[in-house]
């Protein structure tokens, strides 16, 4: 029996660097930062005042105004990114293929309507809390709202594995197609700029004051971001039959759980996920041409990720380009790995590697080629996308040129 190959034929982006693949790709290749002063809430009582907020967001450009009031911000991002991915793939959904299309989303915080509800409860009274706002609380609404908006009736899931959830969604979506359960999958991650999330990372002393500087010796932490990234997956044969534009193949993935620490990544767990992804893809370590790093800019993450890369790739590790687009976007939570997956696909398609910006001082513990500050032209056949989450939930996905 011939093995089903899964490909990416459409991508959709909502980010602080712009909405749509063109704005996103142009920004990360130009090394432009989406980091700015926080406006959505008062940061006077915090040490940090910067993040990857999406400014001047106008959902009415993409969604019916009467529906916007019934949708949380995360669902709005997810729906818009999904519509962009379908449009990019040139796929129109009718009743027949809507039944064979899955919607798989990852999220870290869900809709975070708790913030809104608590504010209403304490500043006004419980009667100010509406039924419609209560119905938006469950995280499962994200994929449900995407499906309802696009009239999709196939499998529908939300995967809550935090900052690796976007990659988990892509991996699971690829399995659904390989198993013949569905013909198409909208897979990705979405999260918004939450005061709860901002406060949590601030309390952990994990945030940089102004810039995210992955792999730099003087790095001081991450910055919180927001957005959504969605990939349209289908079989290679389906894409060829439709004469669709193909970005890349989903070669395989690897999962691991550190079972080590809630917040600190473990080198062994990272290694397991990368090694499993390589084996699952049927390739060798030497075949990988580019690594899109998790690269949060925290001391522990960058150090352990680099240590795992050096352990697996040996001497070649110094010659493999390893860049972090979080230097430009901040950490967009579950959207991070799906946006990074899109960066991998577009890097393969365009033969250009995004840079790690804000890099100034080399770190002996991170002595990798982090593509400092400027994009690089390079033919890429195979790219590895790393994602590591709180709780030790790791997922690495490998993409290949068709």
Indicate whether 125 belongs to any domain: yes
CATH code of the domain in which 302 resides: 3.40.47.10
Given a cut of 90, whether residue 27 has pLDDT beyond it is yes
Q: What is the pLDDT of residue 17?
A: 97
- Residues 131, 237, single domain; the answer is yes
Its pTM stands at: 0.95
- Residues 230, 257, single domain; the answer is no
**Of 57-61, 102-106, 119-123, 182-186, where does mean pLDDT reach its minimum?**
119-123
What's the chain's average pLDDT?
93
Closest C-alpha among 331, 290, 326, 296 to residue 309: 290
Indicate whether 387 belongs to any domain: yes
Q: What is the pLDDT of residue 69?
A: 77
Given a cut of 90, whether residue 136 has pLDDT beyond it is no
Which 8-state DSSP code applies to residue 155? -
Indicate whether 160 belongs to any domain: yes
Indicate whether 66 belongs to any domain: yes
Indicate whether 310 belongs to any domain: yes
- List phi, psi (to 5°) of 87: -65, -40
Task: Write out pLDDT tens, residues 147-194.
Answer: 999 999 999 999 999 999 999 999 999 999 999 999 999 999 999 998
- Residues 53, 150, single domain; the answer is yes
Q: What is the pLDDT of residue 72?
A: 84
What's the average model confidence in pLDDT over 227-253? 98
Confidence label for 391 from pLDDT (cuts 50, 70 and 90): confident
- Residues 175, 255, single domain; the answer is no
Confidence label for 196 from pLDDT (cuts 50, 70 and 90): confident
Give 175-179's long-range contacts (Cβ < 8 A, gap of 24+): 176/102, 176/104, 177/4, 177/6, 177/233, 177/234, 177/235, 178/3, 178/4, 178/6
**Of 4-8, 23-27, 105-109, 260-264, where does mean pLDDT reach its minimum?**
260-264
Q: What is the pLDDT of residue 265?
A: 84
Given a cut of 60, whether residue 399 has pLDDT beyond it is yes
- Residues 238, 269, single domain; the answer is no
Indicate whether 337 belongs to any domain: yes
What's the average model confidence in pLDDT over 131-140? 69
Instruction: Give the active site residue among 48, 213, 292, 294.
Output: 294
The distance of Cα 303 from the centroid of its chain, to the nearest Å, equals 21
- List phi, psi (to 5°) of 45: -85, 0
Q: What is the pLDDT of residue 124?
A: 60
Given a contact cutoff of 8 angstroms between Cβ atoms, the answer to whether 212 and 96 are in contact is no
Given a contact cutoff of 8 angstroms between Cβ atoms, the answer to whether 4 and 235 are in contact is yes
Q: What is the pLDDT of residue 117?
A: 62
Q: What is the pLDDT of residue 139?
A: 74
Query: Of 192, 218, 242, which residue constitutes the final position of a domain?
Result: 242
- Residues 41, 115, single domain; the answer is yes
Domain containing 311: what range?
248-400
Confidence label for 3 from pLDDT (cuts 50, 70 and 90): confident
What's the average model confidence in pLDDT over 44-65? 92
Instruction: Give the active site residue among 163, 213, 344, 396.
Output: 163
d(CA 15, CA 191): 10
Report which of residues 230 and 123 the model is more confident about.
230
331 catalytic per annotation: yes
Indicate whether 1 belongs to any domain: no
163 catalytic per annotation: yes
Confidence label for 67 from pLDDT (cuts 50, 70 and 90): confident
The DSSP result for 303-340, as a single string, is: HHHHHHHHHHHGGGGGTSBEE-THHHH-B-THHHHHHH
Query: Of 186, 209, 242, which residue constitutes the final position of a domain?
Result: 242
- Residues 357, 211, single domain; the answer is no
Confidence label for 110 from pLDDT (cuts 50, 70 and 90): confident
Given a contact cutoff of 8 angstroms between Cβ atoms, the answer to whether 154 and 103 are in contact is yes
Q: What is the pLDDT of residue 109?
A: 83
Query: Of 242, 275, 306, which residue constitutes the final position of a domain?
Result: 242
Q: What is the pLDDT of residue 232?
A: 98
Given a cut of 70, whether residue 1 has pLDDT beyond it is no
- Residues 216, 254, single domain; the answer is no
Q: What is the pLDDT of residue 96?
A: 87
Given a cut of 90, whether residue 126 has pLDDT beyond it is no
- Residues 375, 231, single domain; the answer is no
Q: What is the pLDDT of residue 64?
A: 85
- Residues 46, 181, single domain; the answer is yes
What's the average model confidence in pLDDT over 221-231? 97
Q: What is the pLDDT of residue 264?
A: 81
- Residues 229, 277, single domain; the answer is no
Q: What is the pLDDT of residue 235?
A: 98
What's the average model confidence in pLDDT over 352-372? 98
Indicate whether 2 belongs to any domain: no
Confidence label for 39 from pLDDT (cuts 50, 70 and 90): very high
Q: Report the number of distinct structural domains present in the chain.
A: 2
Instruction: Give the active site residue among 48, 213, 331, 395.
Output: 331
Task: Write out pLDDT tens, residues 291-302.
Answer: 999 999 999 999
- Residues 11, 136, single domain; the answer is yes
Q: What is the pLDDT of residue 112?
A: 65
For the beta carbon of residue 92, count every other beta carbon within 10 angstroms.
Answer: 8
């Amino acid at each position: 029996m011939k093995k089903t190959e899964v490909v990416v034929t459409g991508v959709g982006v909502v980010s602080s660097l712009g909405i749509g693949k063109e704005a996103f790709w142009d920004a990360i290749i130009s090394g432009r930062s989406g980091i700015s002063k926080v406006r959505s809430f008062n940061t006077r009582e915090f040490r940090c005042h910067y993040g990857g907020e999406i400014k001047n967001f106008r959902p009415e450009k993409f969604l019916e105004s009467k529906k916007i009031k019934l949708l949380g911000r995360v669902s709005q991002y997810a729906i818009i990114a999904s519509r962009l991915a379908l449009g990019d793939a040139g796929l129109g959904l009718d009743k027949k293929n809507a039944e064979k299309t899955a919607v798989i989303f990852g999220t870290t915080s869900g809709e975070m309507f708790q913030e809104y509800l608590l504010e209403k409860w304490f500043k006004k009274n419980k009667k100010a809390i509406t039924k419609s706002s209560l119905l938006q609380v469950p995280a499962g609404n994200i994929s449900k709202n995407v499906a309802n908006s696009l009239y999709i009736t196939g499998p529908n899931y939300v995967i809550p594995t935090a900052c690796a959830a976007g990659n988990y969604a892509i991996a699971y979506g690829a399995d659904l197609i390989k198993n013949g359960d569905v013909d198409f999958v909208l897979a990705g991650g979405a999260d918004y700029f939450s005061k709860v999330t901002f406060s949590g990372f601030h309390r952990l002393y994990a945030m940089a004051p102004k810039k995210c500087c992955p792999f730099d010796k003087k790095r001081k932490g991450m910055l919180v971001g927001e957005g959504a990234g969605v990939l349209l997956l289908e079989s290679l044969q389906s894409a060829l039959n439709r004469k669709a534009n193909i970005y890349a193949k989903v070669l395989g993935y690897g999962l691991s759980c550190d079972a080590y620490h809630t917040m600190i990544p473990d080198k062994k767990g990272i290694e397991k996920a990368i090694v499993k992804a390589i084996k699952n893809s049927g390739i060798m370590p030497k075949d990988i041409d580019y690594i899109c790093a998790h690269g949060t800019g925290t001391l522990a993450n960058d150090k352990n990720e680099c240590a795992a890369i050096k352990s697996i790739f040996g001497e070649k590790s110094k010659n493999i380009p390893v860049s972090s687009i979080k230097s430009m976007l901040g950490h967009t939570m579950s959207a991070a790995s799906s946006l990074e997956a899109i960066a991998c696909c577009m890097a393969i398609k365009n033969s250009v590697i995004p840079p790690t910006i804000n890099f100034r001082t080399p770190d002996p513990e991170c002595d990798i080629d982090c593509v400092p500050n400027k994009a690089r032209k390079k033919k890429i056949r195979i790219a590895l996308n790393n994602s590591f989450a709180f709780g030790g939930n790791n997922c690495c996905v490998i993409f290949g040129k068709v």
